[in-house]
Amino acid sequence: MQMRELGRSGLKIAPLAFGGNVFGWTVDEKTSFDLLDAFVEGGFNLIDTADVYSRWVPGNSGHESETIIGKWLTRSGKRDRVLIATKVGKSHSRPGLGAANIAAAVEESLRRLHIDAIDLYQSHADDNDTPIAETLGAYARLMEQGKVRAIGASNFTAARLAESLDVARANGLPRYESLQPEYNLVEREGYEAELEPLIRREQIGVINYYALASGFLTGKYRSAADLGKSARGDGVRKYLDARGLQILAALDEIAAAHGATPAQVSLAWLMVRPGITAPIASATSVQQLDEILGAAQLKLNANEIAALDSASA
C-alpha cells in the first residue's frame, strides 16, 4: 500500500486512519482489540484518539479510549507497526494549551497508552487565552525529550493556523504538521473556502474527522425513521434534506457501477481530494471495518469525481 507523508513530519501513513472515539463508547474492549488487529493486518497504521475520549458516555470519566489502545499495544506487541495520534486541551482535568497543562497531560497520555513517545500530538482545539509561543514552546520541549515526534492542530480556523505557523517560523519553534478539521461530502464549505488553500500552500497534512458524516454517507439513514438505528443517529437529522438525498443518490449510482458501497465511494472521494492525507473513519465491527478499508482499493474516474462534486456543491 502506498504510504503518504504527513506534512513535513516524516511520518508515513496509509490513506485511511482509524478513529478511536468509539473505544469505550459504542465498542467494548474485546471488540476494540479485534478492530485494531484487523486494521493493522489490513496494512493501515494511524490510530487517532484523544485524552478526553469518551467522557460524554454516562459513567465514563474520560481517557477510556487511550486506556484501551494502551492495553491493546501491550497485548499485541504491534507498537512498531502503528502510529499513535492523540490530543490535548479538551479534557475536563487538563483543559487548555498552557505549557504546564501540556507537560502534565502528555505524561498521563503516555502512561495510559503504555508508550514512550506519541507520534502525533495534537492541540484538540484552539486556546485564545494562551500565547501561541507558549504552546509551541511546550511542544518543542517534549520533542527535545523524545516524548513527541510531531505536532498537529485540530479544529483551528485558517487565521489562527496561519498565525501559529508564523509564530513557529519567527521563533524557531516546531510547526503544526497536520490539521484535523471536519470535512466530508456534506460538510465542505468550512474547510474548502479558507483552510484548503492554506494547507496546500504550507504543505500541511490533513487527517479529517467525520469523514462519513456520523454515518450519513454510508446510506444507513435515508429518512427520519432510520435515525433510531444507532446511538449517533440523531446527529445526521440535519442532512435529511434535498441536498443530502441528492448526494446519497450520486453515491448509490457510483457504488453500483463499482460493486462497492456508498461508504467506500465517500472515502475514495476524500482520498483523492488535493491536500487530504488520510480521512479518519470509525467502525463498530470487523465486518464494517473491512468495508471501510476497501475504500483504499477503489479508483474513481474523473467523471465520477465530478458527479460527486456537483451533487454536493
Is 53 assigned a catalytic role? yes
3-state secondary structure of 95: strand
Backbone torsions φ then ψ of 14, nearest 5 degrees: -70, 160
Determine the Cα–Cα distance for residues 260 and 243; give it in Å rounded to an integer. 22
**Dihedral over alpha carbons 176, 83, 39, 183 (to 10 degrees):** 0
For residue 174, the 8-state DSSP code is: P
Catalytic residue among 53, 121, 176, 221: 53
CB burial of residue 161 (10 Å; 0-12, 13-18, 19+)? buried
Give yes or no for a contact between 114 and 68, defined as CB atoms under 8 angstroms apart: no
Determine the Cα–Cα distance for residues 82 and 94; give it in Å rounded to an integer. 26
Give yes or no for a contact between 102 and 147, defined as CB atoms under 8 angstroms apart: no
Which residues are designated catalytic?
A: 53
